[in-house]
Structure 1
Amino acid sequence: MALQPRKRANISLLVPFLVIALVFGVILWQKYRASREVSPVPQMQQLGGKRTAVLFFVADGTRLAREAREVGPCADTVVCLEDVLEELVNGPVGEFDEALPEGSVINTVRIDGDLASVDLNRTFSAALPSGSSAEMLAVYSIVDTITVNFPQIARVKLTIEGNDKALLQHLDLSDPLVPDYTLEQPLQADSDSVPPPSKKNKLDNQDK
């Protein structure tokens, strides 16, 4: 009979430890979930409800160059990213050349943790000028534009019409790509490279 109070005493001592363990478990789970979530607000400079994005276009046919662009407010990160990529597709407003071939379309955008997946139409790959330099500039104009405006995104996966093993003439898009800001320095020209057409050249051709 004397043992029963001891059992109750042992159980009463165990309860606080269980409560503490449960609290710590909940805290750790919340921290884990927070580490896996993407911030709903993009890391872009915001001015008066509008945002200033940085877009990468082609300068001198040999390198990427930054152009600031004001874009409207957006509801979440995916929508913000779609808006920025739409501006990239629209092309430069200043002295730079387009990085993406005419007719390129962003089909879908998806974000999973630190990975952004961007699906492009077939025209993007089919209309690229020949040469590894043109491919590098086009591909990394997308990658660098995404990562510089959204620091929470570290990798970008490009697909062509849903094909996640897409191959360009010189570049393999099977694996996610990380940004390469060294492309803001002039590339070594390859023998078969053709720089993207400038707006001036387009106007000249139209006049002819």
Structure 2
Amino acid sequence: MQLIAHRGLARTVPENTLAAFAAALSSGFDGLETDIRLCADGEAVLCHDRITPNGAPVASLTRKALSHQLGYLVPTLAEALDAFPEALWNLEIKSPDAIKTAFEIIAASRHTPRILLSSFRHDIVLAAAELLKVDCALLVAHHPASLAGLVQQALPHERLRSIVWDFEIIDTALLEQAADLGFRSYVYGAHTQYEHAFCRDYQVSGIITDHPEFVGLTPVPALQ
């Protein structure tokens, strides 16, 4: 089971920063999950929320202005991939306006075998599976009435054989059905030791977590 740090290890530093990523890898995580948005000056930046605490859309701010509002230097996708080339990256594209820039950066990366691209926008994932030489995953936060129907469009794409599930909606039957259809399962949103143990016992392909202590890792403080 691959251990992936959700937005890095953000216990003493802001999430989705180079410091949070470094702390996660130093603690023993295999990989890093992060979120890609496009800011006003065309930079693909790593930021989860669509709106800043001051109420401004990320898309309306330059990277400099966004960093000023958040109180730390917001990294770009290119900077993060360059800084940690050996890490497994789960890159979540949050919005369609980031597709062109993010795809160009990912395509130019020397480390595409270590990228799992995902999105709740399944049209983005299908486009990535068609255009990029990276593994792709459908992000799913609902229990589908028909899993076969959900993954039908993914089947022609050999690189689209993963699903990232919200822990809230999974059960053993759903995970087994995904495996029977040829899909690897990753899980995010587990918050207790029991929930992490469920993922481990079922042997999901990876868990995306904020809790190193529940997967046998000792958190290493990030450098300030």
TM-score between both structures, scaled by the size of structure 2: 0.25
Structure 1 or 2, whichever has the larger Rg, is 1
TM-score between both structures, scaled by the size of structure 1: 0.26
